[in-house]
Amino acid sequence: MVKLRTFFLVYTTIFFGCALSVHAQEVSNVQVGYVPEIKRFEVYFDLDSKLKQGVDLKVYVQEYPNGARKQVETSSIHGLSLKGIMPGFNYYFQIDTKGLNLPPSEYVFEITPTTLQAKGEFKQVEVLKKEVVDAAPRKTIQIIQPFEQAFKFASIGISPITLGGEQSNLTIASNFGVINGGYGYSLSVLYGLSGSPSTTYVASNTQITNYSRANSIYKFTNEVKTSRLSIVPSFLLGIKEFLYVRAGLGYGSRALYWAADEFSFTGTKTGEIWAKNSFASQSGLELEGGFNLMFKKMHIATGINYLGLFKTADTKAFSDVWIGFGLNF
């Protein structure tokens, strides 16, 4: 019996001892490994012979170093029938671990073309060292950046621009919140300084729809008033340590009022009235987007708000842009 040459399989770190029996045929290049995922041993071998005829092979297992030896049952061998094996190379089969209760490293195997008559000598295999090459690190996209900063901020400013609607009265815009690393929270409040005029008249985009005075007429002037209220909580996401993008959803309202002069049928001015323009007035859910910039202690907040998510066909959405300046503390 000759010493069996063994090696490490790439997917296991457990080594096994093997032995050969040499008669007219020789089993060589036996390689044994254990795959824990399927709980099976894997065996590769070559069969060398000058005789061009098949041979039956048997597999024996022994507890290392001097335990009981027994033949592996045919039902435990998978992938190859060991009967009538012709001389060849790189044969492969699997052995399941049924009945083998010790750790895989506690077993050695022997493949032989004849029945064993002697116990034979089993030697512990040489441990081979393999160089481990670290895999290249996987690139990941980090949404929240690990910025090492935490502070509160507050800013106040104005809304000087409206998109597609009159803004005759000053609207104050404020934004305050907290920054914690790569994210933060804030609350934006927009408030029009001019109060709403007291009126019961309602106007479309062209006329007062409920004007009913029989002895007078009216004419719109160029004077308008607006009321504005917006309360929007928002989330901030850091792009750079000095730049955060902001998005939020909250409540908003905006009303537009038109002034009109009343006249008698003789052309004499008799009074002034206000009518709420229902076409350009909105209330309900309001979207906000913007940026927050930090330069040491200085804080700049900008935003654009959209009111009219569920507007009807006879109403007009409203948007305004604002900017505020403040401090980080």
User: What pLDDT score was predicted for residue 17?
Assistant: 40
Query: Does position 86 have pLDDT exceeding 50, yes or no?
Result: yes
CB distance 320 to 162 below 8 Å: yes
Per-residue confidence at 30, pLDDT binned at 50, 70, 90? confident
Q: 92-123 as b/e, with b when 16 or more CB fall inside 10 Å? A: ebebbbeebeeebeebbbbbbbeeeeeeeebe
* C-alpha span between 123 and 62 (Å, rounded): 12
Task: Write out the DSSP string of 238-300.
Answer: EEETTEEEEEEEEEEEEEEEEEEEEEETTS-EEEEEEEEEEEEEEEEEEEEEEEEEEETTEEE
pLDDT, tens digit, for every residue of 110-160?
Answer: 888 754 333 333 333 333 344 444 555 666 667 777 888 999 999 999 988
List, in order, residues 6 or more apart from 107 with CB less than 8 Å away: 16, 61, 62, 63, 64, 100
User: What pLDDT score was predicted for residue 52?
Assistant: 75
Per-residue confidence at 164, pLDDT binned at 50, 70, 90? low
pLDDT, tens digit, for every residue of 175-200?
Answer: 999 999 999 999 999 999 887 899 99
Measure the CA angle with vertex 70, ends 80 and 125; round to 5°: 80
φ and ψ of 78, to 5 deg: -130, 145
Average pLDDT in the chain:
81
Residue whose structure tokens are 């719109």: 220
Per-residue confidence at 329, pLDDT binned at 50, 70, 90? very high
CB distance 122 to 19 below 8 Å: yes
> Region 224-250: what's the mean pLDDT?
95
User: What pLDDT score was predicted for residue 71?
Assistant: 87
